[in-house]
Structure 1
């Protein structure tokens, strides 16, 4: 989430005169980036409330990287204090601004009191991109429990929270990061909704073009080694090809499942566990591959899918949530979201087909790179958001915009 906020806000500086308001713990990073405090950004010190609430969230989530629904629930309690301090600082001069845009938090469960205040001052207020809350697929209850996501069973209760209706009513535009998130909003605000996936690509960080060496099909998995990412399903799907020497599998990332995955992979040739790698090294490993094999069953955004596409590494994904929206016909391969056995069998069939005839991958790789360049660089996304700015200032319906097909 911080990367989305930083990347989009800084890219928007090419489209508008932007003043970024952030939390004080980000101040040092902004200064290291060469920004001038007071001119380019303002750091709001909400630590008196935010710090103890964050410690509470870390305790209640019951494990690093787990319990994200609990973290957002606690954030819904602490964020209003931050906004209160923001308004105290900027409220008297709010008419000096043409637009107020709340980029983060990305969660649609968190309301914003400045929406109504901006509306009364005649300043358009924009939310998003908002994303989250994708339902857990049936048959993956064990994965949900392993992720400590028990609170997700009652997540929809957020719609009853005070301030949500007023926030949506007073917003001039709402950027929805996924089709699912868009479906959670009431019909009364549909004319304000614009579909805009939140993730983007920095071409300077993903500058290589995939060039797999001659030989067997090469696939990679990139991500945390946790149950819902499905790396165990991938190893099982790849097993026959690995045993036959027709596939090499690179697993990039680490996490609590790694010991179990290494046991699962014992005796299998052609599989490499790379562990955590510096970000600069990740694209080098991925660029040696034909495929990103990514059977995750619950991705809100799927940034790793865009990263692979930017490199010309064809994604093979489960057609569900974020990745299923990013990958279009001709830019990657999708298998239906079903049971564990069905997903494993579908991945095995696709891998076997491509190991037999990898020729179609070259055209898909080129199309994937073109799609990212056309729609998903941060510069392109800033231009898309600037179109929303122009629409609300002209009092047009944001929903009439078509940003990303």
Structure 2
């Protein structure tokens, strides 16, 4: 028997097909869910024009809520208090989260009557991703008898020991007291009244109180659009290796560690390295390359358009990405989708996406230990590059099976149906080994 399509109200305050990071996650999941259910997307007005350009019809497919009266001044305050462009993300999140309740009040004003009238089978808040943004919709939906799903929640991965200097350079002062969010009013009511809580990382899952674990599911936040990743990297199994680093050039991302670890191979002509991205560390990285006399083996590309990132990355065999504080690790999935083998720090998001069949995980430690472990692994690969083609194929197959947005939408729909049937929630993916 064919199941009836569900009717869902999907709340995605940040959802924008033309941006990156959280807005792209919000848009991608909300849009993919339209293929498996009758979905109406509710977002913030700043995303309206981009969603219209994507072909959706306002009023029929989505509603843009104008909360700028509070959102705009809160963002300006966050920019000032974070003390620098591209840093202080915990402060930005905290300040903007303070104003999120106003957005949900406007959502309830617009859709509360329809929710109470039973016009939706389910209400699902996709963004904000941060667990610090409490939702007043959860208890209100519960009183209306409509299941409320939360997530993927993700964020707040602790800074690893030995990287406090990177933490200070990122101006992450507020991260020292981030745990205080658990005492904020409304958190208990949100968790108690949510019918399902999707956690985008094992760290976030671990922050959910034990009494709610039976309605909690681990499901990584990121996925890829196969249409954006149509290339496959060459994996000849020979030298020289070509590696790439993709991301902001800031201390915790580890581009400097990637370069330092690769130095013996770069000098020996056994490896070249593409650095894709830009940021405040760029000048220091160029100075490091010049000082070590490996400029002939390292190319700095700066920021590239998304389609050009794919073209450049797909010429590499390895993603060398020793970032020490990734919540989601979307760039790791993107590399795997191209058949580029990830070499990552075994910590947080990337460590949950990669296993021994799909890449290489470097044990977490202090900076010196991480560089040493990464160097040892790169040298081992250079000694036997024939291991790469099989791992690359496995990585690409895993992403295309489990980590497309279409697969993610199907996973979420199964969670919705389990909620509505009052059955145990499915654990859609095996826990990382």
Displacement after TM superposition at 1:215 (Å)? 4.2
Once the two structures are superposed, residues 95-114 of structure 1 have per-residue CA deviations (whole angstroms, 9 ceiling, x without a partner) of 21111000000001111001
Which residue among 216, 219, 240 is the counterpart of 1:216? Answer: 240
- Structure-2 residue corresponding to 1:108: 131
Q: Is the 8 A contact 1:182 1:193 kept in 2?
A: yes
The DSSP-based 3-state class of the residue aligned with 2:39 is coil
Which residue among 271, 276, 279 is the counterpart of 1:252? Answer: 276
Counterpart Cα distance in 2 of 1:31 and 1:244: 52
Counterpart Cα distance in 2 of 1:212 and 1:128: 37
Q: Is the 8 A contact 2:411 2:428 kept in 1?
A: no
Which residue among 413, 417, 421 is the counterpart of 1:390? Answer: 417
Q: In the alignment, does 2:217 pair up with 1:194?
A: yes
Aligned residues: 404
Displacement after TM superposition at 1:140 (Å)? 0.5
The DSSP-based 3-state class of the residue aligned with 1:14 is coil
Counterpart Cα distance in 1 of 2:256 and 2:227: 32
- Structure-2 residue corresponding to 1:56: 77
Q: In the alignment, does 2:33 pair up with 1:12?
A: yes
Q: In the alignment, does 2:106 pair up with 1:82?
A: no
- Structure-1 residue corresponding to 2:303: 276
Q: TM-score, normalising length from structure 2?
A: 0.92
Q: Is the 8 A contact 1:253 1:277 kept in 2?
A: yes
Q: Is the 8 A contact 1:212 1:288 kept in 2?
A: no
The DSSP-based 3-state class of the residue aligned with 1:103 is strand
- Structure-1 residue corresponding to 2:427: 401
Q: Is the 8 A contact 1:212 1:218 kept in 2?
A: no
Counterpart Cα distance in 2 of 1:153 and 1:35: 42
Counterpart Cα distance in 2 of 1:155 and 1:264: 34
Q: Is the 8 A contact 1:238 1:351 kept in 2?
A: yes
1:215-364 aligned within 5 A: 215-266=239-290, 267-268=293-294, 269-364=296-391
Unmatched 5+ stretches in structure 2: 1-21
The DSSP-based 3-state class of the residue aligned with 1:204 is helix
Q: TM-score, normalising length from structure 1?
A: 0.98
Q: Is the 8 A contact 2:235 2:389 kept in 1?
A: no
Which residue among 49, 56, 65 is the counterpart of 1:44? Answer: 65
Counterpart Cα distance in 2 of 1:37 and 1:243: 57
1:364-379 aligned within 5 A: 364-379=391-406
- CA RMSD of the aligned region, Å? 1.0
Once the two structures are superposed, residues 180-223 of structure 1 have per-residue CA deviations (whole angstroms, 9 ceiling, x without a partner) of 00000101100010011000100010110001576401111010
Displacement after TM superposition at 1:76 (Å)? 2.1
- Structure-2 residue corresponding to 1:73: 94
The DSSP-based 3-state class of the residue aligned with 2:325 is coil
Q: Is the 8 A contact 2:244 2:313 kept in 1?
A: yes
Greater displacement, 70-79 / 223-232: 70-79
Displacement after TM superposition at 1:370 (Å)? 0.7
Displacement after TM superposition at 1:233 (Å)? 1.1
Runs of 4+ aligned residues of structure 1 deviating over 4 Å after TM superposition are: 212-215
Once the two structures are superposed, residues 222-278 of structure 1 have per-residue CA deviations (whole angstroms, 9 ceiling, x without a partner) of 100000011111111111111111111111111100100000001213111111111
Unmatched 5+ stretches in structure 1: none
